[in-house]
Structure 1
Amino acid sequence: MPTSTSVQRTVLVGAILILTLGACGQQRASDLAAGAGAGAGAGAGSSASPSAPGASPYVEPGAGDGAPHYNENNAYRRTGEMSPAHERDAEREAVRIEPVLKRLWEQGKWDPATVRTALLELGYEEGDDALTVREMLPRFKDNEYHTPEGASVGLRVHPDACVTAFVQKSNYGVQTNGPYLETGCFEPPYGH
């Protein structure tokens, strides 16, 4: 028959084991205090706390929706950097394109062939490294894909500078941007 001392030891060891395993992976106030002086940015002045409820240790800084690998998975949707001089050149071309698209939109003419013809009259050359006019990208609506009426425009002004535009029934728009990694001047579709 076990003695009361051996039963007490067994209960004590069991309780310690349960407490130790239950605390596994948790950061305690003493751990935070010990690390506060470890380096710049550590401790209470930090904007993100890894011990905050619901915080994931896998979230990258500046990661949009907070999903792990967000920046890596969405790199294809980021534009490249433009040099200041090339950005000014792209803005100058955007100013030339905008009134043409506005006129076409007001006339109800937004098909790619008409838009292409109007922009070629500005003196642009057509091709992958110059002016490209194409249909709008298909969109998923009512459980099926459909391609809306309209035209997408991409103008490569320099290797690092683009004018991206569109004209469709509801509106038109012109912007400048650096090229996308995989799709040049055109914004890539979602669902990479």
Structure 2
Amino acid sequence: MKNKNKSIIIWLLSGCFLVFVMVVVGGITRLTNSGLSMTDWHLVTDTFPPLTEAKWQETFEQYKQFPEYQKINIHNDFTLSDYKYIYFWEWFHRLIGRVLGFVFIIPFVYFLIKKKIDKATLNKCYILLGMGALQGFLGWFMVRSGLIDNPDVSHFRLSLHLTFAFITFAYTLWVALDLIYPNRNEVILPL
């Protein structure tokens, strides 16, 4: 690839890959009914799962205060071991989100400082930054719907979260393709 934007292209395609992984893990999270296992959201703390049995027990006791446990899992002999399994998938999904944030922001700041991003691409990257923040909010908004009365997330919010992930993937790919094929609009007419 002989392109002055090679590092930016690789960065954007890495973002596409991570969004794809995030969607797959999000699907596993949904299929394993793991999405409501983490009952609160902290951007910085809770980066790692509980590290001691006492902390696991405390986290499990918090989970027991919410509808999924009270209306469904209380009747299924749901143990701490079962909880650790569902917790893992939601935690992993959120961890990938954090990694994706770092993979976007750190190189973005570097490219800004080094002035490697042209103005048109820079504006698209600001949009991507906003899309990433909105996607995080939509995830929280979706999970919140299952922590109030109904032990399941709103299908409308889930659809919005997933659809916006697809849109974010497509937009990121489009920005990368713009850099890969900068002269795509030039039409060559035969003589």
Tell me, yes or no, whether TM beats 0.5: no
Q: TM-score, normalised by structure 1?
A: 0.25
Q: TM-score, normalised by structure 2?
A: 0.25
